[in-house]
Structure 1
Amino acid sequence: MRVLAAFDKFKDSFSAEQACSLVESTAGEFSPNVEVVSCPLTDGGEGFVDILISKCRGDLIEVKARDSLGRPREAAVGMVPIDQLSNEVRSLLGLPESGKLAIIEMASVCGLGDLDLAQRDPWNTTTLGIGDLLLFGKEQKADFILLGIGGSSTNDAGIGALCALGLALKKASGESVDYPSPSTWADIATWDRSSIVSLPPLIIACDVDNPLLGSEGATAQFGPQKGLPPESVAPLENAMNEMVVQLEKVFPHASALAKSPGAGAAGGIGFGLSLVGEVKLVQGFELVSQWLSLKKEVNESDLILTGEGRFDSTSWRGKGPFEILSMAKRANKKAILLCGSLDPHLERKTQEEFPNHKFIPFAKSSWKLAKNLKHGPKLFREACRNIFEDLFKGTSLECPIVKEARFKRIRRLKKFLRPLPRRSNVHRYPVLKWFADTAYQRSFLWSFKGGPIQAALFWGIWISMLPIVGIQMIVVFFVSLFVRANLPLIVALQWISNPLTMGPIYFADYKIGMTLLKLIGVSYPKNKLLSPEYDWAEFSYKELLRLIDTFPPMFLGGSVLGISFGVSTVFLYKILRKFYKN
């Protein structure tokens, strides 16, 4: 059975990735025959970079930047070769067939979730950090930059980002305005755009088409969500209007851009950046859908699980879970939506729109919001457990004896896997710790999809047969980077040649290598130490050193042996995987 887990974040409780992981682990409690395909969703907000990078051959790079309060922090920037993207994604983004794409997430430096409730105030937050990340993308020689702008805590029209890019603001006294937030706008007397750095073409992923100003603008619509008190909405709107008037003196097209669709997204960051460069807006979910091949995943799944923190009227405006339900409806697939709460005013409308889908709000109505948020993962897991219990009810899987036996197998497997490197503990391994940062940043090293597993099986078995004891771990690490193999598996396979098996394996390598050299007509001297007729009374240190001469035939034989076993194992893996899916 194939289950698609496609969740958005459960705001202030747990992430989309955690939700998908909880589904996967819960399904494993009931049957090994449930294949869970994880597709965390994002509209450009939290998890944007990680989710996109996990689905392609890209790298994560840690960058120092400033957060929305001007404090130093680290954020991840993704770098992706454009030729690794599908034709559909390239067409949507307007990209050529080659080049380099930088992926930046606004929430990584200006995320609302990173601020305490007392710190959430759009008057005092700034987008300086966005400018820091954009400069880094330019330094990395990116040909295009993709910016996801969901989940922001700012409402500064992108002025902070422009200052990081070189816009100089000064007070009447001549002092610089070092912290450009709406609270300091009144201090600005002069503007100097002469030092602004030019950027590569910028693509912004955004599901909002609000203008910058007015009742549908950034301040009125999104300010309260970011901590703006009701009595401060009008003053901040007035300050934003005055800012556009001032910008018009330096950027003649500012007023026109303020009225364009999407200018009010994320506090006006798209508006600010469009003043100084080429900016293209794309629908966030459409991009993620193409990037993750969601339509294909829905069509190939037997059950679709989706959801978010609260399913309400905003969900109906094109949010990820709503679109997943629509895809499932068109494909005639069964779907279940799990949400913290479902807007009671939309319950009937939702059921009428999706009569064959099921809706499960899992928050406890008797609990306060803070308690529900704190225990969100636990409540979500319980809801998932109920779904799978209903799914397998009446089958032998519910038999306590069978269930306990399955749990014992799972515990034994976990105990066996515990010594292997994981993304969270790779720094503890004597050799791998030298490359911990490199390993952590490359998500493909930890992927258990078919490609990385097959690469790990083939190359891991081949290398385990080679006479390179002592440097195997270093070799497999660099091979993993080059062939994009699963690191834990390729490391585990090196124990094929352990102290008990090393002698027979290397002897077989030598014999096969010598036989092959003889077959191709190459004369190579035999080593007497490896001959059963050797008279050990004649043993000398000189004869021991001659063992070095056995390396060429051993390497040749080990390669033949390793390639043969590697190809056979991959072939067997493909057969078993196909059988397991069916």
Structure 2
Amino acid sequence: MNILVAFDKFKDSMTAVRACDAAANGAQRALDGEVIFTRAPLTDGGEGFCRILTEAASGHIEYYPVTGPLGEEIDAPLGWIESDKIPTRAREILGLPKGNVAVIEMAAVAGLELVPNDRRHPGQCTTRGVGELIRSAVAKEASAILLGIGGSATSDLGLGALEALGIQFPGTEAIFPSQWDTITAIAGQLDCVVPPVYIACDVDNPLLGPKGAASVYGPQKGLEDDEITAFDARAAKMAELLCQHFGQPSNLKDIPGSGAAGGIGFGLKVACGAEFVPGFELVAAWLDISGKVAEADLVLTGEGKFDASSLAGKGPYSLLAAAHAADKPAILLAGCVEASAVATARERFPETGFYGISPKEMELEEALLKGPEHLEFSVETILSQLSEG
């Protein structure tokens, strides 16, 4: 029996790799006979992006000292991959030149998980470390840079990253959104030649307005509801200054994806001509998800929370679609399953099983701590019952 084990991360509980291991352990105990496991940890551009893609393409990871989201020094990963080791379809999506591709994971350098709960606020967080990693990639002659932008703590339009690449903001020593009121001009130019930058992104939010970075993602990063309007207005001012400085049209702030990860895609597009690429489509091609589904007898997938946002095309839901198209049985497990989302999903995938792994009476903190244990036990229990039936 061949089981495809392809989980996304369970936020604040376990990585995608750890989730795949836990599910495989539970399945191994439940099933008699020889079982072949194919592990395919999923990523939407957030946590695990660098490791998952780099290892899948037989690359290697180096660590560099960079500026963390609060201005502190941290060590962040930079993946290195030979472009000819990347699957053909993924290369086609990116339009990659030949050479070494650098992979940057924003969650590992400017991620929300790097910031203590009591210090989370986009006004105090910077993407400078992302720019420093880009500079390191340039120094080692990367032919292209692939940036995953999920899980960010920031909403600085990528200005911190641009500062690390030579752009100046007169009157400041290090640019943070809390200083935007004092800035009236932008100076300087990029002081290095940045290769093509590709941003893996499945979010279509514009930079500003009710569907923009501050309104939609600001609250989860620590922005209070009564701060959103003023923050958005300051962001609009900085976006206009940036477009004027680089001679770019101001409507770049309206393109789908410009509001993702606090606008870093917008900033890099204005300054470097960065391109957005569909995140999960890229990852699915990179990991050959369709081929792995075709070879599987059963698909196990899941994530921390299965809710309405999952139906918008997150990895596990897209995997269910692939399994359904290939007429393969699939089971989804999540720390929490939202009833309305399950009802909608079952209309499309009536044969799929949906399960929550956390005991209903358990406090969230304990459930997060015991996530791997609960996932392993749930898979073992479900598959044991199915094999007996």
Q: Shorter-chain TM-score: what band?
A: over 0.9
Correspondence for 1:79? 80
Report if the CA contact (8 A) 2:311-2:341 is conserved: no
Q: Is the 8 A contact 1:149 1:265 kept in 2?
A: yes
1:359-381 deviation line (CA, Å, top 9, x unaligned): 00112222232222122122111
Asked whether 1:99 is paired with 2:102, we answer no
Partner residue in 1 for 2:309: 314
Give the match for residue 68 of structure 1: 69
Deviation at 1:34, TM superposition (A): 1.2
* TM-score normalised by structure 2 residue count: 0.96
Summarize the Cα distance change of 1:196–1:365 in structure 2 as closer, same or farther, 3 Å threshold. same
Letter in 2 for 1:114: L
Residue ranges of structure 1 left out of the alignment (5+ in a row): 172-176, 395-582
- Structure 1 CA distance for aligned equivalents of residues 262 and 241 of structure 2: 18
Distance 2:124 2:236 in 1: 17
What is the distance in 2 between the residues matched to 1:92 and 1:13? 32
Alpha-carbon offset, residue 195 of structure 1: 4.9
Distance 2:23 2:360 in 1: 23
Aligned residue number for residue 43 of structure 1: 44
Structure 2 residue aligned with 1:115: 115
Deviation at 1:32, TM superposition (A): 5.6
Give the distance between the partners of 2:192 and 2:186, measured in 1 at CA. Answer: 15
SS class of match (1:276): helix
Q: 1:387 Cα shift? A: 2.3
More strand by share: 2
Alignment correspondent of 2:16: 16
Q: Aligned-pair distance for 1:119?
A: 1.5
Provide the C-alpha distance between the structure 2 equivalents of 1:213 and 1:196, rounded to a whole number of angstroms.
29
Q: Distance in 2 between matches of 1:192 and 1:154?
A: 22
What does the per-residue CA deviation read over 1:108-136, in whole Å, with 9 as the maximum and x for residues that have no partner? 11111122211211111110000011001
Secondary structure of the corresponding residue to residue 191 of structure 1: coil
| Matches of 2:345 and 2:256, distance apart in 1 | 28
Matched letter for residue 99 of structure 1: G
2:231 aligns with 236
For 1:254 and 1:59, locate their aligned partners in 2 and report how far apart those are by CA, in whole Å. 38
Q: Which residue of the partner structure matches residue 170 of structure 2?
A: 170
Unmatched tracts of structure 2, length 5 or more? none
In the other structure, the counterpart of 2:252 is: 257
Q: Distance in 2 between matches of 1:391 and 1:331?
A: 21
Amino acid across the alignment from 1:260: I
1:57 Cα deviation after fit:
2.0
Moved segments of 4+, more than 6 Å: none
Equivalent residue for 1:556?
A: none
Match of 1:145? 145
SS in 2 for 1:192: coil
Q: Which residue is equivalent to 2:292?
A: 297
**Distance in structure 2 (CA, Å) of the matches to 1:282 and 1:331:** 25
- Offset of residue 86 of structure 1: 2.0
User: For each residue in 1:503-553, what CA deviation from the matched residue of structure 2 results, as whole angstroms up to 9, or x when unmatched?
Assistant: xxxxxxxxxxxxxxxxxxxxxxxxxxxxxxxxxxxxxxxxxxxxxxxxxxx
Alpha-carbon offset, residue 178 of structure 1? 2.1
RMSD: 1.5
Helix, strand or coil at the partner of 2:186:
strand
Q: Is the Cα–Cα contact under 8 Å of residues 79 and 103 in structure 1 kept in the other structure?
A: yes
Greater RCO (Cα-Cα under 8 Å, separation 6 or more): 2
Counting matched residue pairs gives: 388
2:214 to 209, 215, 219: 219
Q: Conserved in 2, the CA contact under 8 Å of 1:247 and 1:254?
A: no
2:89 maps to which residue?
A: 88
* Corresponding residue SS for 1:169: coil
Which structure would you say has the larger Rg?
1
Mapped partners of 2:175, 2:256: distance in 1 = 25
Alpha-carbon offset, residue 254 of structure 1: 5.0
Which residue of the partner structure matches residue 324 of structure 1? 319
Alignment partner, residue 336 of structure 2:
341
How far off is 1:283 after superposition? 0.7
